Amino acid sequence: ALLSSFLFSAAVYAESLPGGFVVVKEDQIVWRTSEQGVKQATLYGDPSKPGIYVVRNIFPAGVWSAPHLHDQDRYITVMRGIWYVGTGPEWDSKDSIPVPAGSFMLHPANGIHFDGAMAVDTEVQIIGMGPVKTTWIFPKEGRFGKPRKLSQ
């Protein structure tokens, strides 16, 4: 299985305040576009290094992550849109559940899952402890695309 960091670091133009406080305003977020138009930004920390990190993903309508797992727990809040999540290696959107904006979900370490957006662009914020590694169940499929039944 392919091991790689699911997200990559990007410079963030945060404001440091006295006492160690850090503020990242929306217009300071640096987005990078990945496969299939998925936008990714690191707000705090670095998923590839030890320590806490905060990242955001925006999934364009119709784009999902392929089945994968992470070696660390990840804590997800849906910021806008409706995020769909399925568990297990079958990349079938019929087996997913809708998670609307304002909702929270825990992805436990080593839990195989796939997720993304259906009708509207969807933004999620992910918090975890680094370093985190991602294992793609079907590495030849790429990291993002349209769900379809795959077999191992």
pLDDT for the residue numbered 4: 37
Q: How many whole angstroms separate alpha carbon 27 and alpha carbon 9? A: 17
Q: 81-109: buried (b, 16+ CB within 10 Å) or exposed (e) per residue?
A: bebbbbbebbbeeeebeebeeeeebebee
Q: How many whole angstroms separate alpha carbon 129 and alpha carbon 65? A: 20
Q: How many whole angstroms separate alpha carbon 115 and alpha carbon 54? A: 18
Amino acid present at 53: Y
Strand-pair partners of 150: none
Please report, in tens digits, the pLDDT of each residue of the chain (152 residues total): 333 334 444 445 677 778 889 899 999 999 999 999 999 999 999 999 999 999 999 999 999 999 999 999 999 999 999 999 999 998 988 989 999 999 999 999 999 999 999 999 999 999 999 999 999 999 998 899 988 877 65
pLDDT for the residue numbered 10: 46
Q: Provide the whole-model pTM.
A: 0.87
